[in-house]
C-alpha cells in the first residue's frame, strides 16, 4: 500500500472518529439543553406574584447528617419552602424524601425543621418514598393528588424536576433555594447533565415509581 492510500484511509478513520464524537456529544448534550431551555420560563422568585390555586409546595429531600441535622442544601430548601408558605403561596408543604431504612430518615429532619420554623402540623404532608426526583413528582400526582405545584430545590436541579412534572401532566413552577457556594458543586453540575438525560428518557417511558400505595389526600390530618 502506497503512502497516498494510507493517508486517505487515515483521514477517513479520523473523520469517522470525529463524527462518532459529535454524535455522542449531541446525544448527551441535546436532551440536557432541551430540559433546561424548555423549563426556564417556569422559574420564579419569592418576590414574584404566586401562581393561583397551588395545591402544595413540593420540597425535595437531599440528605441529612448522622446526627439528624440537614445538609446545607436541604437546609436552604426548607428555609425557602417555609418562606413561601408564610408568604401564602400554598397552605401545604409536601416533604418528599428518602426513608428507605430505619437508619436514614430525611423526612424526620424535614418535618422537625419546618415545625421549628413555625409551620403547623396540619400544613405538612410527608412522602417517605420520594427516593428520587422522578418518584417524588410521580407520587405527588398519584398518591397525594396534586395538580398544580411549586417545587423547591436548587436551581441546577429545578430544570429536571420541572421537566418531569410537565411530562407527568402537572402544572408546575419552581423557586430556587440557592445559598452560598456548595462544596462539590462542580461535580454535581456535571452529574446533573447525565441525570437530565436519564430523566428525559423517563419522561418518555414513564415507568412506575419504586413504591406506590393508597392515595393520601393532601389536606387530610396526618
Q: How high is the pLDDT of residue 222?
A: 47
CA gap 150, 168 in Å, rounded: 14
Sequence-distant (6+) residues with CB within 8 A of 171 are: 51, 147, 148, 149
Cβ neighbours around 209 below 10 Å, total: 19
Contact yes or no for 174/161 (Cβ under 8 A): yes
55: its cell numbers: 395545591
| pLDDT given for residue 33 in this prediction | 87
Closest CA to 84 of 120, 117, 50: 50
Chain position carrying cell 448522622: 66
* Cα–Cα dist 86/93, whole Å: 11
Determine the pLDDT at residue 178.
Answer: 86
Give, rounded to a whole angstrom, the gap between the first and last alpha carbons of the chain. Answer: 80
Nearest to 114, CA basis, from 93, 90, 129: 93
All three cell numbers of 77, joined, read: 430548601
pLDDT one digit per residue (tens) for the chain, 222 residues: 566 777 776 677 777 677 767 676 666 677 888 999 999 999 999 999 999 999 999 999 988 998 889 999 999 999 999 999 999 999 999 999 988 777 788 999 999 999 999 999 999 999 999 999 999 999 999 999 999 999 999 999 999 999 999 999 999 999 999 877 788 788 888 899 889 999 999 999 999 999 888 999 887 654
Amino acid at each position: 500500500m502506497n503512502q497516498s492510500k494510507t493517508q486517505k484511509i487515515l483521514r477517513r478513520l479520523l473523520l469517522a472518529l470525529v463524527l462518532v464524537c459529535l454524535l455522542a456529544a449531541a446525544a448527551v448534550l441535546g436532551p440536557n439543553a432541551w430540559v433546561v431551555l424548555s423549563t426556564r420560563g417556569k422559574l420564579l422568585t419569592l418576590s414574584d406574584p404566586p401562581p393561583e390555586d397551588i395545591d402544595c409546595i413540593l420540597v425535595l429531600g437531599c440528605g441529612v447528617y448522622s446526627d439528624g441535622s440537614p445538609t446545607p442544601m436541604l437546609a436552604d430548601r426548607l428555609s425557602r419552602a417555609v418562606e413561601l408558605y408564610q408568604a401564602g403561596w400554598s397552605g401545604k408543604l409536601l416533604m418528599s424524601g428518602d426513608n428507605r431504612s430505619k437508619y436514614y430518615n430525611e423526612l424526620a429532619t424535614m418535618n422537625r425543621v419546618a415545625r421549628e420554623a413555625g409551620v403547623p402540623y396540619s400544613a405538612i404532608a410527608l412522602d417517605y418514598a420520594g427516593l428520587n426526583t422522578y418518584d417524588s413528582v410521580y407520587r405527588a400526582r398519584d398518591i397525594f393528588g396534586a395538580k398544580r405545584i411549586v417545587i423547591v430545590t436548587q436551581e441546577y436541579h429545578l430544570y429536571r424536576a420541572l421537566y418531569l412534572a410537565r411530562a407527568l401532566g402537572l402544572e408546575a413552577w419552581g423557586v430556587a433555594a440557592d445559598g452560598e457556594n456548595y462544596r462539590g458543586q462542580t461535580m454535581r453540575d456535571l452529574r446533573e447533565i447525565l441525570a437530565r438525560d436519564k430523566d428525559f428518557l423517563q419522561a418518555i417511558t414513564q415507568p412506575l415509581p419504586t413504591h406506590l400505595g393508597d392515595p393520601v389526600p393532601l389536606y387530610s390530618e396526618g
